[in-house]
Amino acid sequence: MMRFTTAAVAALSSISLMGSAATLFTDSFNSTTLGPAWSASGTNQWRVRTSTTYRNGTSGYGVTLDDSVGDNVYSTSRLDLKMNLATYSNVVLTFRFRNVGEENDSSDGLFLSTDNGATFSKIWSFPAISSTFSLYTVNVSSAAASIGKALGPNCIIRWQQYDNYPLSSDGVALDDVTITGDVVASTRSGVGAIPYTNGTTFRVWAPNASAVAVAGSFNG
Ligand SMILES: [Ca+2]
Ligand SMILES: [Ca+2]
Ligand SMILES: [Ca+2]
């Protein structure tokens, strides 16, 4: 059975604010461990870790990407943020970033996958070496369009660094990541329970509701 509660009514009410920018994700790395949306990987002597040496401001952490051993072996370090961006347009990523000592390489930069990591395309290059963090803005929707892709449910935003020495000889640092997007209006019209091939849209008129939920067992 299905039951609309007063709470359910309000959430749908807020979803009806189509076109307004919503904050989809924000992280200033206030914990020594990365949150569940993040994953780190790499090759050879890769290293991705939280840091109090390289952070924006005076509290919490930043995240650094570097090669853990100073030698002739080059490594790729990757920090991935997995996002479902299927129902958003004008997706904008902002982050604070510092190039501590990187030589520029084609493998350095911000990369985007729209197919759950099967393929990546570079959408932003590292800035010049600097002693301070700067705020950067990347319109992910525009970047996807420029590489002929559409944002969907299986997007990965990847910061990737390639070099051969540890910080502070090489390496980069990241902090204050935020993603905003505009909610795309549903193309399914009508009020009530509206079944379609792979689901059901619920819509109610409740301008004074304060929360929303749909409770019960579904599909039998
Ligand atoms: Ca921080
Ligand atoms: Ca490099
Ligand atoms: Ca090395």
Burial of 98 (0-12, 13-18, 19+ CB in 10 A): buried
Mean pLDDT, range 213-220, rounded to an integer: 68
- Does residue 83 have a pLDDT over 70? yes
Q: What is the pLDDT of residue 198?
A: 65
pLDDT at 218: 64
Q: What is the pLDDT of residues 157-176, one digit of tens each?
A: 999 999 999 999 999 999 99
In a domain, 91, yes or no: yes
| Ligand 2 centroid, distance to 108 Cα (angstroms) | 5
Residue 194 lies in a domain: no
Higher pLDDT, 186 or 104: 104
98 near 172, Cβ under 8 Å? yes
Position 177 in a domain: yes
Q: How far is the CA of 61 from the centre of ligand 1 (A)?
A: 4
Does residue 169 fall inside a structural domain? yes
CATH number at residue 180: 2.60.120.260
What is the model's pLDDT at position 19? 56
- Rounded to the nearest whole angstrom, what is the distance from the C-alpha of residue 136 to the centroid of ligand 2? 19
Cis-peptide, bond into residue 168, ω within 30° of zero: yes
Q: Range of 91's domain?
A: 19-184
Whether 4 shows a pLDDT value over 50: the answer reads: no
Q: Which residues, 6+ apart, have CB-to-CB distance to 147 below 8 Å?
A: 112, 121, 123
Cβ-proximal residues to 186 (8 Å cutoff; 6+ apart), any chain: 201, 203
Q: What is the pLDDT of residue 36?
A: 96
DSSP code of residue 129: B
Is 93's pLDDT higher than 90?
yes
Report the share of the chain in percent with pLDDT over 70. 89
Ligand 3 centre to CA of 109 (Å) is 19
* Mean pLDDT of all residues in 25-31: 98
Residue 140 lies in a domain: yes
- DSSP code, position 176: E
**Shortest-distance ligand to the CA of residue 43:** 3
Q: What b/e string do you get for 64-84 counting C-beta neighbours within 10 Å, with b at 16 or more?
A: bbbbbeeeeebbbbbbbbbbe
Distance 65 CA to ligand 1 centre (A): 15
**Helix, strand, coil share of the chain (percent; to 5):** 10, 45, 50
Q: Which of 61-65, 122-126, 160-164, 181-185 has the lowest mean pLDDT?
A: 181-185
The model carries a pTM of 0.80
Q: Cβ(174)–Cβ(124) under 8 Å?
A: no
In a domain, 126, yes or no: yes
Residue 128 resides in a domain: yes
The CA 123 to ligand 2 mean position distance, Å, reads 16
The C-alpha atoms of residue 192 and residue 37 are separated, in whole angstroms, by 33
Mean pLDDT, range 126-134, rounded to an integer: 98
**Ligand 2 centroid to residue 135 C-alpha, Å:** 20
Computed over every residue of the chain, the mean pLDDT equals 89
Looking at the CA of 29, which ligand is closest?
Answer: 1
Cα of 27 from ligand 1 centre, angstroms = 8
The count of structural domains within the chain is: 1
Please name which ligand lies nearest the alpha carbon of 171: 2
Tell me how far the alpha carbon of residue 164 lies from the centroid of ligand 2, in angstroms: 8
What is the Å distance from ligand 1's center to 185 Cα?
A: 34
Q: Give domain status of residue 11, yes or no.
A: no
| Distance from residue 68's CA to the centre of ligand 1 (Å) | 22
Distance of alpha carbon 171 from alpha carbon 108, whole angstroms: 10
Q: Looking at residue 39, what is its pLDDT? A: 98
